[in-house]
Structure 1
Amino acid sequence: MQLLLNIDVPDLAAAQAFYTAAFGLRPARRLGPQVLELIGASVPIYLLGKSAGSIGADGSVRDYTRHWSPLHVDVVVDDLDAALVQALAAGAAQEGPIREANWGRIVQLADPFGHGWCLLQFLGRGYDEIAD
């Protein structure tokens, strides 16, 4: 199985600028005027230009204000503090303090398009510290 990540955004150029600056991703291919493939993560990320107010899944109206979703993306980093500075400089908003556990450190972010992200730094054996 191959996994792809698709992210709806209202402004493709602004999204490209954010994701390349915040997470070090690189533009790869354009798949028409409203789709940009980004590489540099463990899966390709496709930015899909979809205007606010357009109709999404199940007839929902797209709204790019901060919203809750049961799905978010964790970006695993070697240095959480440096990655947080980089993401904030690119336009991310920090949502709460950095939290620490025996498996590592995590901080919640929102991108400029309302999507939730986490920066995650594993420590020690990572999730193996808490696995049964």
Structure 2
Amino acid sequence: MRLLLNIDVPDLAAAEAFYVAAFGLAPARRFGDAVVELTGAEAPVYLLRKAAGSEGAGGRLRDYGRHWTPLHCDVVVDDLDAALARAPAAGATCEGEVREAAWGRIVQLADPFGHGWCLLQFLGRGYDEIAT
């Protein structure tokens, strides 16, 4: 199985600039003027230009204000402090303080398009510290 991450955004150029600056992804391919593929993660990221107010899943209209979804993405980094400096400088909003657990450190963010993200730094054995 392969995973692809598709992210709807209202402004393709702004989204590309954000994901390159915040997470260190790199543009790879373009599919016309509505899709750009970003690489540098374990799964490719596809930014899909979709206008605010256009019809999305379940007939709902797209809204790029901060929204909640039961699915979010974690960006695993080697240095949380450095990543936390980069992401807000690129336009992310921090949504709380850095939290520490037996497995590592985590902080919640929102990108400029309303999507939730977590920056995650594993420490020690990572999730193996708490695996049963």
TM-score by length of 2: 0.99
Aligned to 1:99: 99
Distance in 2 (CA, whole Å) between partners of 1:99 and 1:82 is 15
Query: Following the alignment from structure 1 to structure 2, what is the Cα–Cα distance between the partners of residues 124 and 9?
Result: 36
In the alignment, does 2:15 pair up with 1:25?
Answer: no
Structure 2 unaligned spans of 5+:
none
* Residue 69 of structure 1: aligned partner: 69
Match of 2:47 in 1: 47
Q: Give the 3-state SS of the residue equivalent to 1:6 in structure 2.
A: strand
Q: CA deviation at 1:33?
A: 1.3
Distance 1:119 1:58 in 2: 29
Residue by residue over 1:65-117, the C-alpha shift from the partner in whole angstroms, topping out at 9 and shown as x without a partner, is 00000011000000000000000100000000000001000000000000000
Listed as ranges, the gaps of 5+ residues in structure 1 are none
- 2:124 corresponding residue in structure 1: 124
Query: 1:23 is aligned with what amino acid?
Result: F
Amino acid at match of 1:79: D
Identity %: 77
Residue in 2 that maps onto 1:14: 14
Partner letter of residue 29 of structure 2? R
1:69-88 correspondence to structure 2 within 5 Å? 69-88=69-88
Q: 1 CA distance for matches of 2:38 and 2:120?
A: 20
Quote the Cα distance in structure 2 between the aligned partners of 1:114 and 1:57.
16
How much does 1:32 deviate? 1.7
Partners of 1:39 and 1:78 lie apart in 2 by 18
**TM superposition score normalised by structure 1:** 0.99
Distance 2:79 2:20 in 1: 18
